[in-house]
Structure 1
């Protein structure tokens, strides 16, 4: 009998994109249902779930083990190292300089003329036992006028200064820097500097003759108290030298340097007191007997001040950083790559991929659904692992006497969530390679070769710095930039190389490169799936 059975017409089923063979609708044909189906596959295979758990455990436990094995102490008595000073924004800072100052209550100003800036630099000894000290100043030696919320390290400040090789600058609160006129300073070519305080606003200016002034900028120092310290300062970071190592990479050395500046034509205005000038060696390092190590000094001759200082005022990178607790990430990524590849190749190996594609004729949905699932499960597992490693790892480092660089809480959140996103992007990349190669060995090897291996080569001092930087710009390993917690500052002299923990791309830009490679792998996987029989 055709067309009717029992006197009733048989209903027709119209074929759609979600229909299977012969026009019968497949339960779960929509994309959301396809994602649910892939999630069901993932959670029912114990090996995949266990693998993801292993990746999380490896990431967290290796980070905690690394933190537990790191111990530090200061001084001959193995005393705990002092805490790193913290600036107004919550970041670690250097705040070490010699300060000649008076109190300023309310609004006021200071104007000086700088007529000389000289210094000394300790160089490698040519003769054993004979100190090799030469005349000169390092590029970021500083001397000028300063308004500061007391003499406590890390307190808010604004300064206008001459530098060793970067002309006049206005800087405030350690991380902010504005360039003025280039050039040095001498008796024949002096520099006039001025700071003016009005409430919480401090304005800096410079002049070549003391008559025609150029404003460098005005900054607001939130919470600046009514009474502050105002005066002249000098500071000099160490002399940094970088040499190529025998096995590649670089060797860094920092040697003692100091700077001496001569100030005259000192003029104070507003609510400055008539007290005598005070001298403070802010942040000076003390010897075990309590005497200062490399102390600064100041001399006064009539209205002329000669101030000598060491140290620096700016951001600090001296200590352990948050990302030092994430040493287990490369190993965790390898495990995640294996799981993500198996999520694809297991179906090819068992012939189940044909069933999946018959159920969902729109083949791109299969790839996309698997990508959604692997992103979700990997991100959640990695987020938990990284949160544990960072939270407990930093505590262990501090308990072991290490100086851990404080960072704003938003930076810490970015590191934890960003590394979890890097895990997810790497998993998607591995998933795409699984569809492209259809071989576990080939896909796993390829994913590790373009993500983990470039990072190891770039940070293990086996490549020149330039080659390491290009490797972390052009490969999926660029995403490791997301965990850099201490940024690079143009006004701080440091070794800004991958070996020292600095990446060539900004954190989010580096992660975007990794995500771009993951998206490309998925797109190519979809193309190949459409062009092949299975």
Structure 2
């Protein structure tokens, strides 16, 4: 097998067109990626205006941290218990008449109200909270990216919910109760680095009201409009060394040029009852540029690699050299496997080099132009870079097998484009309805593009998380596994065909 791989590698590197084509693929990825990044400008970019960096959470991810907080200091262990008696809300509706504002009553699905322990009041600080939501029941959420479901209870007239949050060292445990006597644990977590003194209290928040409209070509267009949540609490009880009186903080509020708070929250207290109104969200941030947006040139590079992979087999059928190759080793399965190893290795190396160069250069250009680039961990960056190389290698193997089946490079190229590029383009543009787009990226070899998704699909985020926005229906590695399955299937069929025709 080793001598076959060496022979196929010799063919690859001695035919000038193939190495040159792979080099062009690398240059196309870098050049088009940087060109596209250079064309993206934010309104706060330039020499005279400095864009504020995104707020980051404890794990370095970009987050939204805007809510109204009624709080006191707590030293050491302690707890807070409340009864949440009602939640109501307002939300902006699409304008029926341009310029005429419409407001409706009602909660958005991820409206939040409950009790929280937080490391101070600075945006992005570590926290844990147990809360009721608009339509998703009771939840324990902590450090923005973590969400634990409790009961499906919804707060309404005659159906209050008791909530409790207990701190023991770094361990925070959330509880809920229908009557204040029978307590059910929602979940617990350890917040590493939580100081002895924390802020503990009541909060309310309301993400924007999401409206999704059908686009002209069948996709969708989303808009998010202002909403607010008002929560009413009573039976507020604190245990532990709570210091000072109740304070009120509009955490993460936006300050208008005149110094006023943009869409302020509010709170009032009367006879042991607290009414808290909040706007904003406490969740991972997804409105910004993902690092994979710099890989716009990859589709051009992929088309070049499809041509190379198809020609790596079909050229031998066209010239008759396949007989010489099979005479060297009459087992067609081993010959095809050697070709697959070489084409996979060559395209993997090209994809790795192209992606590793494009990501840092492209993101640097985006930031210089004032764009918010959502930060990701080093492991995620590595997964995007290495995974993209693997994706290209698998697609090259798929096309190689198609060329062995069809014996024509034109047919293999057309089939590769139809199976990979066309579904990817149709699913990520406003052509098909969202459900159709999702199924295209579940069933076709284009599913492997999920390996490039750097921002997870968080269920607790108010956003339209569809392929058009860069969110895939399968997890990164599951999507790549679908592409691998197609490549393996095509190879098996090609080996069977070769044995029947060339034995």
Tell me, yes or no, if structure 1 residue 372 matches structure 2 residue 341: yes
Question: 1:67·1:325 contact (CA, 8 Å) conserved in 2?
Answer: yes
The answer to whether structure 1 residue 423 and structure 2 residue 392 are counterparts is yes
Mapped pair 1:501 → 2:470: yes
1:530 aligns with 2:503: no
Asked if 1:169 corresponds to 2:136, the answer is no
Aligned partner of 1:257 in structure 2 is 227
- 1:514 corresponds, among 483, 487, 494, to 483
Shift of 1:246: 2.0
Map of 1:47 onto structure 2 = 17
Contact 1:115–1:263, Cα closer than 8 Å, also in 2: yes
Please report how far the alpha carbon of residue 419 of structure 1 lies from its aligned counterpart in structure 2 after TM superposition.
0.9
SS in 2 for 1:89: coil
Give 3-state SS (helix, strand or coil) of 2:292's partner: helix
How far apart are residue 318 of structure 1 and its match? 0.7
Checking the alignment, whether the CA contact within 8 Å between 2:45 and 2:369 is kept in structure 1 is: no
The question of 1:245 aligning with 2:215 is answered yes
Return the match for 2:268 from 281, 293, 299.
299
Q: Find the partner of 2:277 among 308, 327, 345.
A: 308
Unpaired runs of at least 5, structure 2: none
Is 1:191 the counterpart of 2:181 in the alignment? no
C-alpha distance in structure 1 between counterparts of 2:441 and 2:156, whole Å: 44
Contact preservation (8 Å) 1:75, 1:288: no
Q: Is the 8 A contact 1:248 1:461 kept in 2?
A: yes
How is 1:234-383 mapped onto 2 (pairs within 5 angstroms)?
234-273=204-243, 275-383=244-352
Structure-2 change in CA distance of 1:533 and 1:363 (3 Å)? closer
Partner of 1:21: none
The alpha-carbon deviation at position 366 of structure 1 amounts to 0.9
What SS does structure 2 have at the residue aligned with 1:331?
helix
Secondary structure, aligned partner of 1:61:
helix
How well do the aligned residues superpose, as a CA RMSD in angstroms?
A: 1.5
In structure 2, what is the equivalent of residue 104 of structure 1? 74
Contact 2:137/2:154 (8 A) holds in 1: yes
Query: Please, what TM-score do these two structures have when normalized by structure 2?
Result: 0.97
**Alpha-carbon offset, residue 397 of structure 1:** 0.7
Partner of residue 477, structure 1:
446
SS in structure 1 opposite 2:468? helix
- Name the SS of the counterpart of 2:287 in structure 1: coil
By how many angstroms is 1:32 displaced?
Answer: 0.6
Q: After superposing the two structures, state which structure 1 stretch, 187-196 or 201-210, moved more.
A: 187-196
Question: After superposition, what is the alpha-carbon deviation per residue over 1:19-59, rounded to whole angstroms, capped at 9, x for unaligned?
Answer: xxxxxxxxxxxx01110111111111111000111111111
| Distance (Å, rounded) in 1 between the aligned partners of 2:97 and 2:314 | 66
Is 1:216 equivalent to 2:186 in the alignment?
Answer: yes
Q: Which whole-Å deviations, capped at 9, do the CAs of 1:86-137 have from their partners, x for residues lacking one?
A: 1222222111101111111111111111112111111123344432111111
Contiguous gaps of at least 5 residues in structure 1 = 1-30
Secondary structure of 1:376's aligned partner: helix
Structure 2 match to 1:87:
57
1:187 shift after superposition = 5.1
Larger Rg over CA atoms: 1
Paired residues of 2:332 and 2:502 also in contact (CA < 8 A): no
SS of equivalent residue, structure 1 residue 104: strand
TM-aligned CA distance change 1:135 to 1:343, over 3 Å: same
Aligned to 1:126: 96
Identify which of 148, 151, 156 aligns with 2:126: 156
Q: CA deviation at 1:81?
A: 3.0
Q: What's the offset of the Cα at 1:165? A: 1.2
Q: Does 1:65 align with 2:55?
A: no
SS in structure 2 at match of 1:276: strand
Aligned-partner SS, 2:90: strand
TM-score by length of 1: 0.92
The aligned counterpart of 2:148 is: 178
SS at match of 2:457: coil
Task: Name the SS for the 2:144 alignment partner.
Answer: coil
CA distance, structure 2, for counterparts of residue 93 and residue 294 of structure 1: 19
Is 1:465 aligned to 2:408, yes or no? no
CA distance in 1, matches of 2:484, 2:46: 49
Whole-Å separation in 1 of the counterparts to 2:216 and 2:153: 37
Q: CA deviation at 1:185?
A: 1.8
1:158-205 deviation per Cα after TM superposition (whole angstroms, max 9, x unaligned) = 001111112211111112112222232245221111111111100111
When residues 433 and 187 of structure 1 are mapped into structure 2, their CA distance, relative to the original with a 3 A threshold, is: closer
